[in-house]
């Protein structure tokens, strides 16, 4: 049994509803999947995994282990609970020695913000050791996935500023957008599909990499940088950010140019084909 729900704050009717459901389903092997986008990805992955119910072994490397006990902005549960719920739902077990997949994750930061509504804070110190571990795993040919859950709805500049072009180009999966709980769910779901695809010899490598590249473009460059810039322009010029009206073509062109500029600077693969992030800031 799985309950998928959108963002739930620490207080309010939705938080009370989830807690009531937890009490009423105690002992029924129920799963509670927070973050609508990530929950949907996990439900699809679970449906494909169900016939064989494989147990996948996961090496976990954290940028800051104590951060697991911190709740993400607007969440009612410690991130540790969200993380382990996603692992259980997809059948992952942590095994840092005999692993099928390497997960590199950044848990919510002490200064985490919702990048859709607040300016990005000054980047923290470079995560040099964490990035070195990630780079080494990719160099050795491991399937490495990166879940950047430091902020809500956007990527952490202090994490991505230290990446080399080879590291970004070698990621098997990436997620940073939406809420942190949605990002970890999306990254793990993509990782599970990679492993299942390899087992069944049905893994579409090109399509899988296209999804990873699209997540880099959307979650990092659009949500973490370009969307905030676009919101600020809309505010300065009195434009409804949810309805551009007769300025739509102008702003759409400006956003496209800005994304190409950012991709040329940060992404070794540029703009992925057939990729376009959502324009609104909801």
- Of 32-41, 65-74, 238-247, the range with the highest mean pLDDT is 238-247
Separation CA 125–CA 109 (nearest Å): 12
pLDDT at 94: 95
In the numeric block, which tokens belong to residue 84?
A: 């382990």
How many C-beta neighbours within 10 Å does residue 16 have? Answer: 12
Band of the pLDDT at 62, cuts 50, 70, 90?
A: very high
- Which secondary-structure segment (H or E) carries 103? strand 101-106
In degrees and rounded to multiples of 5, residue 216 shows phi and psi of: -60, -45
Separation CA 16–CA 9 (nearest Å): 10
pLDDT tens digit sequence for 108-148 = 988 888 887 777 777 777 788 888 899 899 988 888 999 99
Separation CA 88–CA 231 (nearest Å): 38
- Of 61-75, 110-124, 155-169, the range with the highest mean pLDDT is 61-75
Alpha-carbon distance values, 196 to 85, 89, 99, 189 (Å):
20, 15, 14, 11
The pLDDT of residue 281 is above 60: no
Measured CA angle at 157 (ends 153, 163), to 5 deg: 120
Residues above pLDDT 70, as percent of the chain:
91
| Spatial strand order in the sheet of 56-62 | 92-94, 56-62, 101-106, 144-148, 173-175
State mean pLDDT over 59-87: 87
In the numeric block, which tokens belong to residue 225?
A: 């940088």
């Amino acid at each position: 049994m799985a309950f998928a729900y959108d963002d739930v704050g620490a207080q309010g009717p939705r938080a009370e509803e989830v807690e009531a459901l937890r009490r009423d389903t105690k002992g029924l092997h129920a799963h509670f999947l927070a973050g609508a986008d990530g929950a949907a990805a996990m439900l699809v992955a679970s449906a494909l995994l169900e016939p064989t119910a494989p147990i996948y072994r996961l090496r976990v490397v954290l940028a800051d282990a104590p951060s697991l006990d911190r709740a993400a902005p607007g969440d009612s549960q410690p991130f540790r609970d969200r993380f382990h719920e996603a692992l259980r739902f997809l059948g992952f077990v942590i095994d840092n020695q005999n692993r099928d997949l390497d997960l590199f994750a950044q848990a919510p930061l002490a200064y985490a913000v919702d990048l859709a509504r607040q300016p990005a804070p000054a980047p923290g110190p470079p995560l040099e050791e964490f990035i070195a571990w990630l780079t080494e795993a990719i160099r050795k040919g491991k399937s490495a996935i990166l879940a950047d859950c430091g902020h809500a709805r956007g990527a952490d500049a202090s994490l991505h500023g230290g990446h080399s072009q080879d590291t970004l180009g070698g990621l098997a999966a990436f997620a940073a957008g939406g809420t942190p709980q949605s990002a970890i769910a999306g990254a793990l779901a993509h990782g599970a599909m990679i492993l299942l695809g390899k087992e069944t010899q049905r893994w579409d490598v090109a399509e899988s990499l296209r999804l990873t590249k699209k997540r880099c473009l959307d979650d990092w460059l659009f949500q973490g940088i370009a969307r905030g810039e676009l919101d600020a322009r809309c505010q300065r010029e009195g434009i409804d950010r949810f309805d551009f009206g007769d300025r739509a073509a102008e702003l759409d062109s400006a956003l496209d140019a800005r994304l190409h500029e950012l991709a040329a600077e940060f992404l070794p693969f540029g703009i992925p084909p057939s990729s376009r992030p959502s324009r609104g800031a909801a």
